[in-house]
Amino acid sequence: MDYTKIIDKLPYTEPFLFVDELLSVSEESIVGTYIFSTDLYFYKGHFKNNPITPGVILTECMAQIGLVCFGIYLLRDEISLEKINVALSSTEIDFHCPVFPGEKVAVISEKIYFRFNKLKCKVKMVNSKDEIVAKGTISGMIVNKDLI
């Protein structure tokens, strides 16, 4: 599968798409990147005169690459990707350093398990200096839209 086709299948668009490219994808892991451009809407109020990327946005970026893109890849032969919804079921993320406007991050996700359409992954985000920005676990359900 062409990696750009995975991104095209995501149920997100700008300004809530936090995936620029996928670097590698396998049955066990996925790696992707995103650049937090300086003009993103949330920097205007987080924080006054010292903008940093909110933790919830970092978590979303980790989930989009490390869970949703990964799930699309893992289900590529199972069901029609146009008929899926993804529901985040749990996160446990520790934050280690801030991400500032203009920074590029990489998300590395390793499968813990994938069964009964539930995917659980160990994820980490690193900055361009290869410093750990955040790490933890994310899990979610991949649901057929016809069943909900």
Catalytic (active-site) positions: 46
- List the one residue out of 104, 85, 121 whose CA is nearest residue 11: 85
Burial classification of residue 122, based on how many CB atoms lie within 10 Å of its CB (0-12 exposed, 13-18 middle, 19 or more buried): middle
**Hunting for tokens 């790490």 — which residue is that?**
135
CB 24 within 8 A of CB 108: no
| Omega cis (within 30) before 16 | no
Burial classification of residue 136, based on how many CB atoms lie within 10 Å of its CB (0-12 exposed, 13-18 middle, 19 or more buried): middle
CA 60/CA 90 separation, integer angstroms: 12
CA angle, corner 72, sides to 17 and 84, nearest 5? 85
